[in-house]
Amino acid sequence: MAIKLNPQYQDAYFNRAGVYTDLKQYDMAIKDLTKAIELNIEDKNSYNNRAIVYYEMNDYEKAIEDYSEVIKLDPLNQNAYFNRALSYKMQDNFSMAIKDFSKAIDLNPLDEEAFYNMGIVHYIMKDYDRAIKDYSDAIEVNNEYEDAYNGRGVAFYYQGEYERAIKDYMKVIKLNPYNNEVHYNLALICKLKECGSTIKAECKKCGGKLCFNI
């Protein structure tokens, strides 16, 4: 109704796009956000929301373009750097992802998600030392960050530091006994005889309820 009464009413296109996004009608959301941008080319929120929709549509290149526009309009927009980094990560453009995650951390040193996702990128690159540092930084911000402990444990595993991996896996299990992924990761170490005693010692701390057949 508002658009019919005033086709130049920019907020109406923006708000309707939000409804379309919630309904996962992404093509319609893109159409309305594009119109909103045409009516106000300096509206960083419209660029940001269109980037989110493009990301949901797996169109990471267009998401990056829109996040870049947000950054041009607002160079200190931490979320834009973080989300652009996620888009680069999905494109396997790891150098740019690391650059943007690092900028996001500079703008917000307590962003545990930025540390964690940068850890994932370093892990994929098989740079396990840096991955461990990133996961450790995430844990320093949030000492109950389940995924960061698991990620760090996997990095320790690939470095052959099994006892440190076990300790991280057991921390995850303490936080969430129903985490199937970490049980699987721990089972991989259970196959290594030289690590059996360490696992048993860790299991005893939890009343022996978390042990595998070793």
Same structural domain, 102 and 153 = no
Is residue 89 located within the same domain as residue 147? Answer: no
Please check whether residue 118 lies inside any domain of the structure. no
Distance from CA of residue 195 to its chain's centroid? 32
Pair 158, 97 in one domain: no
Is the per-residue pLDDT at 37 higher than 60?
yes
If one compares 15 and 210, the residue with the highest pLDDT of the two is: 15
Mean pLDDT of 161-171: 94
Mean pLDDT for all residues in the chain: 90
One domain, residues 100 and 143 = no
Q: Are residues 184 and 212 in the same domain?
A: yes
pLDDT, average across residues 74-93: 98
86 within a domain of the structure (yes/no)? yes
Does 193 have pLDDT greater than 60?
Answer: no
In a domain, 119, yes or no: no
Which CATH number does the domain housing residue 140 bear? 1.25.40.10
**pLDDT score recorded for residue 102:** 98
In this structure, are 104 and 146 located in the same domain?
Answer: no
Q: What is the pLDDT of residue 7?
A: 64
Domains of the chain: total: 2
- Give the pLDDT of residue 74: 98
Q: Which of 96, 146, 90, 95 is closest to 116 using CA atoms?
A: 146
User: For 113-135, what is each residue's pLDDT tens digit?
Assistant: 999 999 999 999 999 999 999 99
Q: Tell me, yes or no, whether 61 and 136 share the same domain.
A: no
Answer whether residue 135 is part of any domain.
yes
With respect to residue 121, please indicate whether it lies within any of the assigned structural domains: no
19 assigned to some structural domain = yes
Going by pLDDT thresholds of 50, 70 and 90, the confidence category of residue 94 is very high
40 in the same domain as 79: yes
Same domain, yes or no: 84 and 40: yes
pLDDT attached to residue 214: 37
pLDDT at 192 over 80: no
**Sign, Cα dihedral of 137, 138, 142, 144:** negative
Parent domain of 169: 128-214
Which of 1-5, 25-29, 159-163 is the least confident region? 1-5
204, pLDDT greater than 90: no
Mean pLDDT of 46-51: 98
Task: Please report, rounded to a whole number, the percentage of residues in the chain having pLDDT higher than 90.
Answer: 80
Domain shared by 79 and 140, yes or no: no
HEC string of the chain? CHHHHCCCCHHHHHHHHHHHHHCCCHHHHHHHHHHHHHHCCCCHHHHHHHHHHHHHCCCHHHHHHHHHHHHHHCCCCHHHHHHHHHHHHHCCCHHHHHHHHHHHHHHCCCCHHHHHHHHHHHHHCCCHHHHHHHHHHHHHHCCCCHHHHHHHHHHHHHCCCHHHHHHHHHHHHHHCCCCHHHHHHHHHHHCCHHHHHHHHHHHHHCCCCCCCCC
pLDDT of residue 211: 47
On whether the CB atoms of residues 74 and 80 are closer than 8 A, the answer is yes
**Residue where one domain finishes, among candidates 108, 137, 156:** 108
Between 180 and 7, the higher pLDDT residue: 180
Last residue of a domain, one of 108, 139, 158: 108
Residue 121 CA: distances (Å) to CA of 90, 94, 95: 10, 6, 9
pTM of model > 0.85: yes
Q: Is 162 helix (H, G, I), strand (E, B) or coil?
A: helix
Q: What is the dihedral of CA 115, 121, 147, 200, to 10 degrees?
A: -120
Residues 6+ apart with CB under 8 A from 210: 170, 173, 177, 202, 203
pLDDT greater than 90 at residue 203: no
Question: Which DSSP string corresponds to 62-116?
Answer: HHHHHHHHHHHH-TT-HHHHHHHHHHHHHTT-HHHHHHHHHHHHHH-TT-HHHHH
Is 115 part of a structural domain of the chain?
no
Residue 126 confidence (pLDDT): 98
Instruction: Judge whether 3 lies within some domain.
Output: no
- 107 has pLDDT over 60: yes
- Do 158 and 84 share a structural domain? no
- Out of 44, 79, 108, a domain closes at 108
Kindly state whether residues 103 and 134 are assigned to the same domain: no
Of 2-16, 57-71, 100-114, the range with the lowest mean pLDDT is 2-16
